[in-house]
Structure 1
Amino acid sequence: MSTNDSPESAIGPIPLIFTEDVAATMTGIGLVWAQTTAGVIGKDGDMPWHLPEDLKHFNKLTTGHPVIMGRKTWLSFPEKYRPLPGRTNIVITRQEGWGQTPEAEGAMAVGSLDDALLESQFAPGGQKVWIIGGGEIFKLSMDIADIAIVTVIDSEAEGDTFAPELGDDWKSGTIVPPEGWMTAANGTQYRFTMWRRMEG
């Protein structure tokens, strides 16, 4: 077995199997984000790290299904990557008329999370919906989501946006790798974690 096949590898099979399994079996409403060990998810509208392996993981999970996000998250993507391809991009905004502006091109603009979820039911792949940020949208979603897929990055990067707190009704499930970290090609250490919200 080559070193590239170990759980610690950036391109070994275990992370890929985890991502593919979640993508194939998850239904309902999912949350997906990356955070540092201190819970930072963003700084100045961007992610304070570079982790291509997590972007591949994110794309594998969400492609083919609607994604819901806030306007700031939408604008955090470089214009050339908007809308995220292969997904209905639903953007929540309080700015009336924003959906008719040039920066909204490719987005379905709605005024609330309820409206976003309603629209997602009619979108291709709507049997599963991914909520992708930012912080306020995550907080609004904590009581309705079924699953959270969290990439934890071993980083001390500072930020101004933080991950939501997963309360007592959320239970940790699969952790990849079960112990320690995976190491990305650029040396960044990270792991994938899956949480499920327990009913009642």
Structure 2
Amino acid sequence: MTGGPRQPRIGMIWAQTVDGVIGAEGGMPWHLPEDLRHFRRTTAAAPLIMGRKTWESLPARFRPLPGRRNVVITSSDDRAAEITGAGAEPVSSLPAGLDLLSATLRSEAEEADIWIMGGGSVYARAVAEDLAELAVVTVIDLPEPGDTLAPTLPKDRWALESVQPASGWWHAESGVRYRIEHHRRRGMNVS
């Protein structure tokens, strides 16, 4: 007999340059199809939570992201109505979104039950308040400038669990080098 429902596993997923840039002027300053495929595979069937600017940065034809429940953080009633009309669910804060998703979770995801997918301030809050236990980060070997940075994962609270490929870097079809890092918050079970 179990002691009730388990707490959902909450992950964060993003791509960044080697300098930690995740965005520039409301978008990604690169195009890496290999990372987009990785994102789709990793988040398949799991609900996503994102900030309004991240939602708006998605091409309209991909909103909501298919095959996944999309929850969008906004404080604007007008934007909330637009988000609802587009097929996503608005919430007022990251904790409210996590509570909503946790209460109705039916995920078949392998790594996390709920994925936080940005933007910068949403990731920063998740790290500062220990809301996530996993971070899956695509590191792209580019020195692109940008105005939005990835959160810092404090070494006293987060550990690098694995790097793929173990040999260092994959080469995208475009020639750009990239790798995927898995970080886990210290003290979290791997189950």
For residues 120 and 102 of structure 1, do their structure 2 counterparts lie closer, same or farther at Cα, with a shift above 3 Å needed?
A: closer
| Counterpart in the other structure of 1:175 | 163
Letter of the 2:107 counterpart: G
Deviations 1:51-90 (A, max 9, x none): 0000000001112011000000000000000000000000
Q: Secondary structure at the match of 1:30?
A: strand
Letter of the 1:174 counterpart: S
Cα distance in structure 2, aligned partners of 1:123 and 1:71? 22
| Counterpart in the other structure of 2:3 | none
Displacement after TM superposition at 1:104 (Å): 5.3
Displacement after TM superposition at 1:99 (Å): 1.7
Alignment of 1:51-200 (within 5 A): 51-101=32-82, 105-121=86-102, 122-125=104-107, 128-142=113-127, 143-167=130-154, 168-199=156-187
Cα distance in structure 2, aligned partners of 1:113 and 1:177? 32
Instruction: Give % identity.
Output: 45
Check conservation: 2:72, 2:83, Cα contact below 8 A: no
Displacement after TM superposition at 1:158 (Å): 0.4
Check conservation: 2:83, 2:89, Cα contact below 8 A: no
Displacement after TM superposition at 1:96 (Å): 2.5
The CA RMSD measured in Å over matched residues stands at: 1.7
Letter of the 2:133 counterpart: D
Moved more, 103-112 or 56-65: 103-112
Which runs of 5 or more residues in structure 2 are unaligned? Answer: 1-7
> TM-score normalized by structure 2?
0.86
| Counterpart in the other structure of 1:20 | none
Check conservation: 1:70, 1:133, Cα contact below 8 A: yes
Displacement after TM superposition at 1:124 (Å): 3.8
Moved more, 48-57 or 177-186: 177-186
Alignment of 1:24-43 (within 5 A): 28-43=9-24
Which runs of 5 or more residues in structure 1 are unaligned? Answer: 1-26
Cα distance in structure 2, aligned partners of 1:174 and 1:145? 17
Check conservation: 1:64, 1:125, Cα contact below 8 A: yes
Cα distance in structure 2, aligned partners of 1:123 and 1:86? 14
Q: Secondary structure at the match of 1:187?
A: coil
For residues 128 and 102 of structure 1, do their structure 2 counterparts lie closer, same or farther at Cα, with a shift above 3 Å needed?
A: closer
> TM-score normalized by structure 1?
0.82
Q: How many residues align?
A: 174
Check conservation: 1:88, 1:124, Cα contact below 8 A: no
For residues 104 and 169 of structure 1, do their structure 2 counterparts lie closer, same or farther at Cα, with a shift above 3 Å needed?
A: farther
Letter of the 1:125 counterpart: S
Letter of the 1:136 counterpart: S
Cα distance in structure 1, aligned partners of 2:83 and 2:147? 27
Structure 1 segments (4+ residues) deviating >4 Å: none
